[in-house]
Amino acid sequence: MNNLLADKKICVTGGGGFLGRRVVARLVEQGCKDVFAVRRREYDLVQQEAVERLYREHKPQVMIHLAAVVGGIGANAKNPGRFFYENLIMGAQLIEGARKYGVEKTVILGTICSYPKFTPVPFKEDDLWNGFPEETNAPYGIAKKALLTQAQAYRDQYGMNSVYLLPVNLYGPGDNFDPNTSHVIPALTKKCLDAIEEGARNIEAWGTGNATREFLYVDDAAEGIVLAAEKYDGRDPINLGSGHEISVRDLMSLIARETGFTGQVLWDTTKPDGQPRRALDTTRAEKLLGFRARTNFVDGLRRTIDWYRTARSTESAAVAQ
């Protein structure tokens, strides 16, 4: 790969997070010499002063904005105001800062939650504005979608080179397994391993299990983001996905098999399913970025479960000492 980013000063917001660590590592592997991982404890991007200080101190030529306040259906339902405000204000201030400080290129990560609740499957980027998002994710999804409007408006008025990516649900080693904020794969994995450890014969899962999801392995997502940072300068958003759609019920069965849980799954149909179906059309990513996800879903799931088993064992050993 002829890396056009190698000599650029690059800042990655959320650079210490699940996805951000992979993006930073990939940039370094590609030969980038000046990559700074922006962490909240040093720069709280909700605060304008922190955003200004970030640009003054690091003078990035490329800004990759991954930082987000995010969680599963439960976390979204409990924090709609916070998720809307913090995601909107972080992104809006970073984009304005990029304009003000003359950043050469800004890459903004959106979310599949921005798509309308009833979007024809597979989701095409041109359908993004054809309806209201699924209710439980709407504040988060709309906040992130507003950043696309800002990026395109700044391109039109100021000539700003800002690109926008729409990834599906991510998963992989190092994911968030906190039951209060985790997404479906880590949540169900933890429930299965907890049940095995405690000798429980059943676990509870939200909804009917009929909703479908698409998942992208975190290292594949990092590859797509870095490709966009290097290769893409267009105004149109680009989906990043794997092309593999699976129902939550089938996902549950797969996780149970891979963890060794043989008990019963009790579906709590009083809880929401979320969006009925999610699967992306990834034609644009392949055409414009040369991107196609490489990781087989079952292989990626096994790596994720194995990583979490090891993390649990390490944590238990530390507590016992």
Active centre residues (catalytic): 140
Q: What are phi and psi of 217, to 5 degrees?
A: -65, 140
Rounded to whole angstroms, how far apart are CA atoms 213 and 161?
A: 32
Placement of tokens 């794969």 in the chain: 185
Rounded to whole angstroms, how far apart are CA atoms 237 and 231?
A: 14
CB atoms within 10 A of CB 146: 17
8 Å CB contact between 213 and 251: yes
8 Å CB contact between 137 and 184: no
Beta-bridged to residue 111, according to DSSP, are none
Beta strand pairing status for 245-247 and 212-217?
A: antiparallel
Side-chain half-sphere CA neighbours of 54 within 13 A: 36
Rounded to whole angstroms, how far apart are CA atoms 232 and 162?
A: 9
